[in-house]
Structure 1
Amino acid sequence: MRTSWKWAVPALVVSVGFAIGLGAGPVDAQQKNTLVATKVAAAPALDGSMDDAWKKAVPMTVKAVGGKNLPGGSTEVTLRALYTADTVYFFMQYKDPTESFRRGPWVKQGDGSWQKLKDPNDKGSDNNLYYEDKAALIWNISSPAFEQKGCMSACHTGEGKPYGNKYTKEAGERLDMWHVKSVRTAASVGQVDDQYVDHTRYDKDKAPGAGRKSDPKTGGGYANNETDDKKGPKWAHKGNKPAPPYWILDAEKELFDGSKYKAGDEVPGIIVAPFAGDRGDISAKIAWKDGAWTLVLGRKLSTGSEFDVQFSDLKKEYPFGMAVFDNAQVRHAYTPGVLRLKFE
């Protein structure tokens, strides 16, 4: 099995993957929905290894249910937390039998044309065949309902979408969503896509994304790799080499030359570049090995952004939820109820 690591400036750590080992911890702490962050003098290992600092962190294990493609629709997620004077670290682990990086690539056909791989059952924003593995943490910023109901307070089924829409109850209420997209951000440029949720209601024409929005950025991001007529790729890897990897770094892209490929070769369907600004303030490092994901994320305790949760009061508890996507665009496994982060 291939193990690949990508890393950005460490500030918060989330490690997903039983490949590293869970370690021991009090059984009663694992059965509760409260994650206890332990203070350390210096940053723990950020390479996914279980060093002495991480061994001191009490693991919290919860079950994520209702997801597409996962065996039985579920998986167990184990999370640890540590923090220093200015940074919080998470170590998160879960099983996933497949590494899914093949997100909508272009494939050369026998007649020389190019076809973009698509899920034939996708009726709109519901790709469960040629997508990417993802994970998400969602934190409360200012929603009283989230304090009591967690993610379910912002999830609204129906409204023309397979898993509904996200929005808060009242104007002015926000949630902070950390979206770990393996191909578009985490494995490729070492970041989490920092997003948020507000009260905007779904409107097919005016607000198709409802309350889900992205933090401001001053540069970077991702875009589809396609020509103006959308009949083939516009850009290629250096030397016009075929995939993998299934992303092309914007700083290294070359103009696509179809003559360099044989039938069956694939070209990535996405161009990526690191976010600059608010949207890129969570770093990420991820690896898949032996049927499990390991994610290492990083962020400062306080960012000063109105779109971020601020861990500025270490005496309070912070409610959150988690989700796991196994090669699914929206049909994620989720953790029922309210999870809470507590600093000790």
Structure 2
Amino acid sequence: MTAPAVEPAIRARQRLPPPPIGGVIGLYSRDTERRTRSARRGPACRRETDMQRLGTSGLAVLLAVGLVIGLVAGTTDAQQKNVLVAKKVAAAPALDGSLDAAWNAAPPLTVKAMGGKNLPGGATEITTRALYTADTVYFHVQYKDATQSIRRAPWVKQADGSWQKLRDPNDKGGDNNLYYEDKFAMIWNISSPAFEAKGCMSACHTGEGKPFGNKYTPGAGERLDMWHFKGVRTGPIGQVDDQYVDNTRYDPATAKEAGRKSDPKTGGGYVDNATDDKKAPKFALKGNRPAPPYWIVDAEKEPFDDSKYKAGDEVPSILVSPFTGDRGDLAAATAWKDGVRTVVISRKLVTDSEFDVQFGDLRKPYAFGAAVFDNAQVRHAFTPGVLKMVFE
């Protein structure tokens, strides 16, 4: 894949390392030895030796120049591989997941995400394209995921007539990797210097009372904008959960999510489908039919009628409706086909939320990272280092 050109605003001045000390000494010693031999052999031989030395020096210069070019090209190429170039378009591209002419004209950025649960070797490659209009930015994301995971902890009717949710037996708390959903996340820097240097790793902290650690920024006032697409809870209603990360430390009593928080909302969202005693579903799909799908659109829910189900039938455990307010800023479309997940995300370049990254300056780069959750509640694959987006 040809890497996109890097904008001048993010080009780094290349500084080449000095040659190895041993190499300099070796060249100096050989040159001294040649001079000694030339002095012993007389003027004629010296002229021949001088010509040989000139040839050798010329070759050395050519090799050195080649080395410099190679190092600069290699470093520039490495930088380009971490840069997503957003191209301007006059109108919105296709938002159904297809790659139309506009998307195909956008240079793709492919990066490896690693360290995730359920993915082969814990890794997958994410290919992202970006476009923008006068007021909106669009992202087309694809990655390999062998399975479409939508069976998120459904209710199952038991042989004795009771209801139980499907659970991961290895889940020690907030760590379901068996009956969950596919998710994708992008995290953008708002005001964290540490993120500019280290990317997502600046906000990820292992241990601390949880199987997969916590998220929070290093200092007071530092925030990250987290775009959290959830295949069951937000995908069906065409949204990404707009969240953020601040510097709140984990506390089992007062801050179970540590620095991970959600933007304010005025309505909508997702809630558990359960009776007050949490022993059975409270609502059903239209006609009280069993799942799939594994979500119930709130506007279409019906009162649950236990008599309509036999042992082994499943009922969705989640009710979904569109977010309104700040938390509903991100629109999305998704598709899964032949082992490839596609997510298309769009948002206004500038919002009025203090919890959002603002793409108001099209001349500067924007640091971000990405994560893939393969049927995993928290154990995601992540992109190491810092990715940047620039507007062309």
* Structure 1 partner of 2:162: 113
Task: Indicate how the Cα distance of structure 1 residues 51 and 100 shifts in structure 2: closer, same or farther if over 3 A, else same.
Answer: same
Deviation at 1:47?
1.7
Rounded to whole Å, the distance in 2 between the matches of 1:51 and 1:287 is: 15
Say yes or no: does 1:298 pair with 2:346: yes
Gaps of 5+ in 2: 5-76
Pick aligned residue for 1:277 from 300, 325, 332: 325
Post-superposition Cα deviations, 1:154-179, rounded to whole Å, max 9, x if no partner, equal: 11111011221111111111000000
Rounded to whole Å, the distance in 1 between the matches of 2:106 and 2:333 is: 19
Post-superposition Cα deviations, 1:13-48, rounded to whole Å, max 9, x if no partner, equal: xxxxxxxxxxx7548589610101111111111122
- Kept in 2: contact 1:30–1:61 (CA 8 A): no
* Structure 1 partner of 2:238: 190
* Structure 2 partner of 1:154: 203
Structure 2 residue identity aligned to 1:256:
F
* Structure 1 partner of 2:11: none
Rounded to whole Å, the distance in 2 between the matches of 1:51 and 1:130 is: 34
Post-superposition Cα deviations, 1:106-144, rounded to whole Å, max 9, x if no partner, equal: 011122111110001101000000000000000000001
| Higher normalized contact order (CA 8 Å, seq sep 6+, divided by chain length) | 1
* Structure 1 partner of 2:286: 238
* Structure 2 partner of 1:133: 182
Rounded to whole Å, the distance in 2 between the matches of 1:177 and 1:222 is: 18
Rounded to whole Å, the distance in 1 between the matches of 2:359 and 2:178 is: 37
Structure 2 residue identity aligned to 1:138:
I
* Structure 1 partner of 2:38: none
Structure 2 residue identity aligned to 1:135:
F
* Structure 1 partner of 2:34: none
Structure 1 residue identity aligned to 2:251:
D
Deviation at 1:63?
0.3
Deviation at 1:60?
0.6
Structure 2 residue identity aligned to 1:250:
D
Superposed counterparts of 1:237-256, under 5 Å: 237-256=285-304
Superposed counterparts of 1:175-214, under 5 Å: 175-186=224-235, 188-214=236-262
* Structure 2 partner of 1:308: 356
* Structure 1 partner of 2:389: 341
Rounded to whole Å, the distance in 1 between the matches of 2:119 and 2:87 is: 32
Rounded to whole Å, the distance in 1 between the matches of 2:224 and 2:324 is: 21
Deviation at 1:49?
1.8
Pick aligned residue for 1:172 from 196, 218, 221: 221
Rounded to whole Å, the distance in 2 between the matches of 1:277 and 1:67 is: 32
Say yes or no: does 1:62 pair with 2:138: no
Deviation at 1:53?
1.0
* Structure 1 partner of 2:171: 122
Q: Secondary structure at the match of 1:245?
A: coil
Say yes or no: does 1:50 pair with 2:116: no
Rounded to whole Å, the distance in 2 between the matches of 1:272 and 1:306 is: 26
- Kept in 2: contact 1:162–1:331 (CA 8 A): no
Deviation at 1:297?
1.0
* Structure 1 partner of 2:64: none
Deviation at 1:305?
0.7
Gaps of 5+ in 1: 1-23
Post-superposition Cα deviations, 1:227-257, rounded to whole Å, max 9, x if no partner, equal: 1111111110111011111001111111111
**Higher percent of residues as helix:** 2
Q: Secondary structure at the match of 1:35?
A: strand
Structure 2 residue identity aligned to 1:195:
Q
Moved over 4 A (4+): 24-31
Rounded to whole Å, the distance in 2 between the matches of 1:271 and 1:132 is: 14
* Structure 1 partner of 2:193: 144
Deviation at 1:265?
0.8
Say yes or no: does 1:332 pair with 2:386: no
Rounded to whole Å, the distance in 2 between the matches of 1:30 and 1:326 is: 28
Pick aligned residue for 2:88 from 21, 39, 60: 39
Larger radius of gyration: 2
Q: CA RMSD in A?
A: 1.3
Post-superposition Cα deviations, 1:54-104, rounded to whole Å, max 9, x if no partner, equal: 111101100000000011110000001111111111111100000000001
Q: Secondary structure at the match of 2:234?
A: helix
TM score, norm. by length of structure 1: 0.91
Rounded to whole Å, the distance in 2 between the matches of 1:283 and 1:134 is: 15
Structure 2 residue identity aligned to 1:238:
K
Q: Secondary structure at the match of 2:186?
A: strand
* Structure 2 partner of 1:83: 132
Q: Secondary structure at the match of 1:184?
A: coil
Q: Secondary structure at the match of 1:148?
A: helix
Structure 1 residue identity aligned to 2:246:
D
* Structure 2 partner of 1:11: none
Say yes or no: does 1:218 pair with 2:261: no
